[in-house]
Amino acid sequence: MSAKKGYELKPNPATGRYRLISGNWKMNLNHLEAISIVQKLYFELRDVDYAFSEISIHPPATSLRSLQLLIESDRMRFSLGAQNLYFEQKGAFTGEISASMLSKLNVRYVIVGHSERRKFFGETDEIVNKKVAATFGEAMTPIVCVGESMQEREDGKTDDVLSQQVRGAFGEIAPELVAKAVVAYEPIWAIGTGLVATPEDASSGASLIRDEIERNFGVEVANSVRIQYGGSVTPTTAAELLAADGVDGLLVGGASLDAEAFARIVRSL
């Protein structure tokens, strides 16, 4: 990725961490629509917009190759992301996609353990852990999603749920790898519901996650891990969530399907 002088990606001066804003398209857009939306996003953004956060785009697997070619041929400053992978290297696993298949497409980030995968596809912490290991095994970065349901929140279990999911995802992973991970704090009650968490909620979730990482891997690792907030982010709420203490970026679902809205989110810093 070439950058015009003066517009290189800069870390947040307050934390030394590089912000990451990710668009999770879920099961939306065919490969032709995918090309068109990324082109629109590219035309919406100016050089300066790339200076404050890295931008990753996570289309369905059917669009990865098209977007790889588009991004690389036009030298767009977007990182390619996947929404999922399978932890085995190869073999009789019909319908699945391996880490090495993704890394061959220059995928940089892989979303792991999204609440929709936990809910609809039975992904447990153990599976999430294997997927995290497989992602690191191909030198890609996992974006590990954790978050509590409304019931768990009302029962005062947010702390326990986040701690367990963090421990589950990173158990047996080497600290130097954990330090490179991204964790997305995605309260389930805020995903796709329009119920956006307050900056205080986002901050408190981020600090519970960072504290758990510190307990398990030490303060240096905890200070390196990047924590995104995700859940019904819109151009109107993005700035205050990005400014929340301990929040290093955003994982955006619905609003990332609209190039103009996603560009406004990226520009909201």
The residues that are catalytic are: 114, 186
Residue where the block lists tokens 């992602």: 135
Tokens 């490969």 identify what position?
A: 31
Write the DSSP symbol of residue 206.
Answer: H
Cα 118 to Cα 124: distance, rounded to the nearest angstrom = 6
Burial of residue 173 (number of CB atoms within 10 Å: 0-12, 13-18, 19+): middle
Token duo for residue 239: 């700035």
Is the CB of 142 or the CB of 253 nearer to ligand PEP?
A: 253
Residue nearest to ligand PEP (CB): 253
CA distance 149 to 119: 11
Which one of 29, 41, 252, 261 is in contact with ligand PEP (CB under 6 A)?
Answer: 252
Residues 209 and 227 sit within 8 Å (Cβ to Cβ):
yes
In the complex, least distance from residue 91 CB atom to ligand PEP, rounded to whole angstroms: 29
Out of 81, 168, 187, 231, which residue is the one contacting ligand PEP (CB under 6 A)? Answer: 231
Contact residue for ligand PEP among 233, 241, 261, 263 (CB under 6 A): 233
Instruction: Tell me the closest approach of the beta carbon of residue 210 to ligand PEP, in angstroms.
Output: 20
148 binds ligand PEP (CB under 6 A): no
Number of residues that bind ligand PEP (CB under 6 A): 13
- Does 232 contact ligand PEP by CB under 6 A? yes
C-alpha dihedral over 103, 48, 222, 235, to 10 degrees? -90
Among 253, 259, 263, 268, binds ligand PEP (CB under 6 A): 253
Shortest distance, CB of residue 24 to ligand PEP, whole angstroms?
4
